[in-house]
């Protein structure tokens, strides 16, 4: 059974992948390597994990406005997440998602805490929806 969650669409398009959930904000400038897609920020809960092709779920971004360009670079390098979901998207993440054509939804019903690592998700940034799909083993 598909669970559909409504939110606010920020950056259009659709993306599908396994959820990679962070309880902590993410700084893309110096926190994520745009060449590898790996989280490199020391001490971050996702340190060492690769965001490429995942649905990246995190409360919000933090840090410099250059973070927008890191999201764009991730996209150009084919290392971007398939989509992103925020509790509250702020301008750095929103602009980066739009520039990088990474679907982004925020303010989902019930909050991001209802999503778990490994959930199979489809994000529609045009409709502002997140679907939790049945696990088919992919």
The 10 Å CB-count burial string (b at 16+, else e) for 31-58 is bbbbeebbbebeebebeebbbbbbbbbb
List beta partners, residue 56.
20, 84
Name which of 79, 19, 78, 85 is nearest 46 in CA terms. Answer: 19
Extract the tokens encoding 70: 């890191």
Check if the beta carbon of residue 26 is closer than 8 Å to that of residue 53.
no
The residue annotated as part of the active site, out of 27, 30, 64, 113, is 64
List beta partners, residue 136.
none
What secondary structure letter does DSSP report for 26?
B
Extract the tokens encoding 116: 């778990």
Residue 30 a catalytic site member: no
Catalytic amino acids?
64
């Amino acid at each position: 059974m598909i669970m559909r969650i409504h939110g606010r669409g920020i950056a259009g398009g659709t993306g599908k992948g396994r959820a990679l959930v962070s309880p902590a904000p993410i700084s893309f400038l110096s926190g994520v390597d745009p060449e590898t897609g790996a989280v490199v920020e020391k001490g971050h809960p996702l340190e060492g994990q690769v965001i490429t092709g995942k649905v990246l779920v995190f409360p919000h971004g933090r840090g410099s406005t250059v973070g927008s360009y890191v999201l764009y670079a991730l996209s150009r390098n084919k290392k971007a997440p398939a989509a992103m979901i925020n509790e509250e998207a702020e301008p750095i993440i929103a602009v980066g998602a739009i520039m990088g054509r990474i679907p982004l939804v925020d303010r989902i019903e019930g909050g991001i805490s209802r999503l778990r690592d490994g959930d199979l998700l489809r994000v529609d940034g045009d409709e502002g929806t997140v679907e939790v799909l049945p696990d088919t083993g992919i």
